[in-house]
Amino acid sequence: MDRAAEISAFLRSRRARLSPTELGAPFDGRVRRVPGLRREEVARLAGMSPDYYMRIEQGRGGAVSLEIIDSIALALRLDTVERNHLLNLCGTPTPHHTPGLEPQRVRPGLYDLLAVMESVPAIILGRRTDVLASNRLARALMTDFQALPAPHRNYARFILLDPKARELYQDWEQVSEQTTAMLHLDVGRFPDDRQLAELIRDLREGCPEFTRFWDNQNVHEKDQGEIRFNHPSGGEFVLHYQTLLVPGEADQSVCTYYGAPGSSSEAALARLAGLTTSSPTPA
């Protein structure tokens, strides 16, 4: 990945979404050719020289201190996820940053956990949204990741490239944009990940909407939320999801899906579980 290009694109996109008037900036009489804040306005809000901010935005700022990152984050009104993404892009890693790119393995106890979660779809996500493991109900809900070639066992690849996903997710564009934003986080964390670069290339070539999603420069952590499904066997229902980090395992998380207690969605998921009989196995 071109780190300088990523820094530039991200900061320009964050500038463009802000209105000078909402930040209380006085009108200077000049016609604005592009939306949002100018570089010198960001520099003034962040308490630094315009030249220094310009070098940072162009990826020429060298080692950027945490204090400078925080000043820019405050000026651009970045949330916590966006701030940490900027830290990673500028080479100032967050406490959870892990530079190694060794192959990821799922410990046996997590496979046992998936095995006993018979009524809850669950997947274990790794770097670049690789699906490291899945239980039987998750495969019935989404796709049989185990049946795919190992390089294709990837959540983003399924969402954006599998035609079935467009039918499965009622709000496919929203899910796809959030998934793309998850990949943006990994670009900051792992700029030298060749497999991530290849995945992004494949998504650009295979999904007409991906470039638009990518150019938005949004970042997102898959933490919690809800998704509306239109399942070929289970019909329409809404599932909530919760994502839990795996202690002691860098860049691994368990993502679970469930219907609200007592809801028709919970009943639909139970019916789908009744249609599945195979045992949970590694993805």
Q: What is the pLDDT along the chain (283 residues), one digit of tens a residue?
A: 688 899 999 999 999 988 877 666 555 566 667 778 889 989 988 999 999 999 999 988 778 888 999 999 999 999 988 998 999 888 765 544 444 567 888 999 999 999 899 899 999 999 999 999 999 999 999 999 989 998 899 999 999 999 999 999 999 999 999 999 999 999 988 888 999 999 999 999 999 999 999 999 999 888 899 999 999 999 999 999 999 999 888 789 999 999 999 999 999 999 999 887 644 455 6
Residue-number span of the structural domain to which 212 is assigned? 108-282
CB 111 within 8 A of CB 280: yes
- Report the C-alpha gap between 117 and 110 in whole angstroms: 11
Show the tokens assigned to 62.
């060298």
Give the CATH number of the domain where residue 58 resides.
1.10.260.40
pTM: 0.82
Same domain, 151 and 81: no
| Closest to 273 (Cα-Cα) out of 114, 134, 138, 125 | 138
- End-to-end Cα separation, the chain, in angstroms: 28
Do the domain assignments include residue 248?
Answer: yes
Output the CA torsion sign for 81, 58, 208, 194: negative
Vertex 266: Cα angle to 265 and 269 (nearest 5): 85
User: Residues 155, 277: one domain?
Assistant: yes
The answer on 70 and 120 residing in a single domain is no
Same domain, 78 and 117: no
